[in-house]
Amino acid sequence: MTPAARIQAVIELLDEVVSTPRPADTLASLYFRARRYIGSKDRGAINTRFYRVMREYIRLGWWVNHAGAELNARNVVIAALIFDREHTADSLPMMFSGERFAPEELTEAEQDMAAALEGKNLDDVAMPLRERCECPDWAYDALQRALGARFEEELKAMLSPAPLDLRVNTIKATRADILKQLKAEGYDAHEGKISPLSIRVFGRPQLSQHELYQNGFFEIQDEGSQMVALVADAQPGEQVADFCAGAGGKTLALGASMLNKGRIVAMDVLGGRLERAKERFRRAGLHNIETRALTSERDKYVKRAAGKFDLVLVDAPCSGVGTWRRDPDKRWRQLGPGLEALVPLQKSILDSAYRLVRPGGRLVYATCSLLPEENELQVADFIAAHPDFSVEPVSQKLDVDGVGDFLSLTPGRHDTDGFFAAVLRRKEAPLV
C-alpha cells in the first residue's frame, strides 16, 4: 500500500469507530478481514497510526474545534498528521490527492485548518487539564477525588500503549522455562514486576501464533489481572465459583493455582462466551472446570448452591476506566451502560453471589476501574448490609507498593491496567 492509502484506511477505521457502537478492536478486525489483500506490514502500520489517533482523540478534537473546523474523522486524522510532524500544510496535498486508494483532495476549509495548526504542540498550556489528560467529562470529578495529587500522572500514564504481558500456565511449565525459551528465540522478554507468573515481552510480537501459546503454556493477560487471581488464592481441592467468568481469563489462573484439584464452576449470563472459553480450558490442560450459563445474577442455581463454595470471585462488569490505555476509545465514547446503571448492577450481583459462600469462605470482589463508586464504596455498602462478612486486608498476603486493605493497582504506580480487588471473609457458623 502507498502511504496515502494507509492514511485513507485510518480515516475509514476512525469513521467506523465514531459512527458504530462496537469496540474498536472488533471493528478493526472486521475491517481487515474484509480486505485480506492488506498485508501484515501495512496492517501493522495502519493499526499503529489508528491507535495513536485514538489515544490523542480528545486533544486533537480540542485543536480541531479551536481552529473552527468540523469535528470528524478526516479532520482528526489531518490534525494528527500535523501534530505528529509527519506532514506540513504544504505536503498534505500529496497524500490527499484524490487518486485511487488515496484520500479525497483537501477542501479549502481543511487546508485552512492544517495551516492554523502547523507549528503548534499537541499539549498546549492553554489546553484545559481535562483535555490534556484525555479524560471524559463523566469521569473527571470522580477521578480527581479518587487520585488526588496523582490525577495528572495516572491519567497521562494511560496515554501510552499497554504492554504485552504473559501469564505462565504452571500446570505445564515454570516461568523460568518459558522465559529461557523466549529469550533463546530472540524475544525481548523479562520477568514481570509484581506477578510471580508474569513475563513482559517488548516489541509487540504476535505471540498468539506461537506454539507455546497454541499449546497452552501461557496466556496473554495483563499483570494486574493476574494479581486479582493471585489475591483470590484458590487452593487445591477447594470448591470455587467464578461468578462473572466471561471469556475465562481469570478462571484459567484459578484452575492453575488449584493444581487441577477441586472444582471451579465458571458462570456468566453470556453463555456463548463460556462455550468459547471451553477451548481455552482444554488447551491449558485444565479439567477441574465446568461451565454454567445464568439467566441473570438471580438465577435459581444460586439459591440451590447456596453455601457450597469456599471461594466466590465476582469480577464485576464495570466502567473499564482502568483499561483506557488498552482501549483508548473508551475515553471518548460510551459503548455500554453508564455508572448510573453499573453501580446498581454491581450491588445486585454482590447481593446474589454472596449466597454461594460457605461459612468461613471468601468472597473476592474485583473490577478494572479506578472509581470509588465501583470499588471501595461498593464494598462498604456490602459490608454494611452483610455484617457476617469482613474485609481481609490484601497486605497480609501481598507486599506491593500502595496496597493495603484492598488490591489497588494503577498504570502510573504499577505499570499495569487499573485493577481493584477486595477479599471479604464470611464468619464461621456458630457451634451448636
d(CA 219, CA 229): 13
- Cβ atoms of 132 and 55 within 8 Å: the answer is no
Average pLDDT (306-332) is 95
Tell which residue, 215, 140, 114, has the closest CA to residue 171: 215
- Cα Dmax for the chain: 86
- Cβ atoms of 294 and 267 within 8 Å: the answer is yes
d(CA 60, CA 53): 8
CATH number of 223-426: 3.40.50.150
pLDDT recorded at residue 336: 83
Cell (9 digits) for 108 = 479549502
pLDDT recorded at residue 282: 95
- Tell me the β-bridge partners of 424: 363, 391
pLDDT recorded at residue 430: 72
d(CA 156, CA 150): 10
pLDDT recorded at residue 401: 84
User: Among this protein's residues, is 318 annotated catalytic?
Assistant: no
pLDDT recorded at residue 178: 98
Q: Catalytic: which of 133, 135, 244, 368? A: 368
Cell (9 digits) for 114 = 492544517
Q: How confident is the model at residue 196 (pLDDT cuts 50, 70, 90)?
A: very high
DSSP element (H, E) containing 367: strand 357-367
pLDDT recorded at residue 402: 78
397: pLDDT strictly greater than 90: no
3-class DSSP assignment, residue 293 = strand
Mean residue pLDDT of the chain comes to 95
pLDDT recorded at residue 432: 52
3-class DSSP assignment, residue 312 = strand
Q: For 244-289, how does the pLDDT look when each residue is reduced to its tens digit (9 = 90+)?
A: 999 999 999 999 999 999 999 999 999 999 999 999 999 999 999 9
Q: For 99-139, how does the pLDDT look when each residue is reduced to its tens digit (9 = 90+)?
A: 999 999 999 999 999 999 999 999 998 999 999 999 999 99
Q: For 168-193, how does the pLDDT look when each residue is reduced to its tens digit (9 = 90+)?
A: 999 999 999 999 999 999 999 999 99
Average pLDDT (196-208) is 94
Average pLDDT (315-344) is 93
Q: What percent of the chain has pLDDT over 70?
A: 100
431: pLDDT strictly greater than 70: no
CATH number of 164-220: 3.30.70.1170
95: pLDDT strictly greater than 80: yes
pLDDT recorded at residue 85: 92
Which is higher by pLDDT, 7 or 40? 7
d(CA 409, CA 416): 7
Average pLDDT (162-166) is 96
Residue 394 sits at the vertex; the CA angle it makes with 392 and 395, to the nearest 5 degrees, is: 115
